Copies of this chain bind each other. A is one copy, B any other.
């Protein structure tokens, strides 16, 4: 299996070709299973539609569990809208240890009068076996500023990914992300001397991710 590459392919197909017990961490920000488009945004990203089903989820979780080594961790982002469905799909295979709250610095949009403003996303923290976390005890509320979604409409802070990778892996271990989008997982891995394997179904985001990764080739860190 070639390391440190982003494959332009549906991750469900790609994972079929991966050996079981072959990666050290799953860290992924999959589609949340809700139709999503921000119209009030300067740089309009491609509209994400036809995305209100979660049919892919059970197979994705099962495959994730299969390719992950024993005594390893897996993190799955999700929103509160479908947290019940995600949690139940995940706990068929993994032990759900916690649900982390990524607290953003700013609030999102949505119902202005009848609802509370969304200020977080969930990260379901799970285990296969029982590896410990590195670097002492951390809270299950993680405050990281949003970066501005330059590379992808649902881009997550690099710091946040770096933090999770450091908590759950050692150097030179392999991180898998089936929905790598703008390549944040790959970038964090490169900076932290971890190996990555990524999938991204969109050729455009593959290209963006590749450019991001190459752009730090000659940067000291």
A-side residues, CB < 8 A to B, are 80, 83-85, 87-88, 97-101, 103, 107, 111-120, 125, 127, 130-133, 137-141
**Which of B88, B113, B119, B131 lies in contact with A140, CB distance below 8 A?**
B119
Q: Which 6 pairs across A and B sit closest by C-beta, in order of nearness?
A: A84-B84, A116-B140, A80-B99, A84-B87, A113-B132, A119-B139
Interface pair A119/B132, CB less than 8 Å apart: no
30 chain-A/chain-B pairs, Cβ below 8 angstroms:
A80-B98, A80-B99, A83-B99, A84-B84, A84-B87, A84-B88, A97-B111, A97-B115, A98-B116, A101-B101, A101-B120, A101-B141, A103-B103, A103-B141, A107-B137, A113-B132, A113-B133, A113-B137, A114-B127, A114-B130, A114-B132, A114-B133, A115-B125, A116-B133, A117-B138, A117-B139, A119-B140, A119-B141, A120-B140, A120-B141
Known contacts A119-B139, A140-B119, A140-B120: does B114 contact A97 (CB below 8 Å)? yes
The count of identical subunits is: 2
Q: How far is the CA of A119 from the CA of B120 in the complex (A)?
A: 14
Q: How far is the CA of A140 from the CA of B130 in the complex (A)?
A: 32
Known contacts A83-B83, A87-B83, A87-B84: does B130 contact A112 (CB below 8 Å)? no
**Which of B83, B120, B137 lies in contact with A117, CB distance below 8 A?**
B137
Closest to A141 in B: B119
Q: How far is the CA of A141 from the CA of B100 in the complex (A)?
A: 13
Residues of chain B with a CB closer than 8 A to A120's CB: 101, 140-141
Residues of chain B with a CB closer than 8 A to A107's CB: 137, 139
Residues of chain B with a CB closer than 8 A to A80's CB: 98-99
Residues of chain B with a CB closer than 8 A to A113's CB: 132-133, 137
Question: How many whole Å from A123's CB to the nearest CB in chain B?
Answer: 10
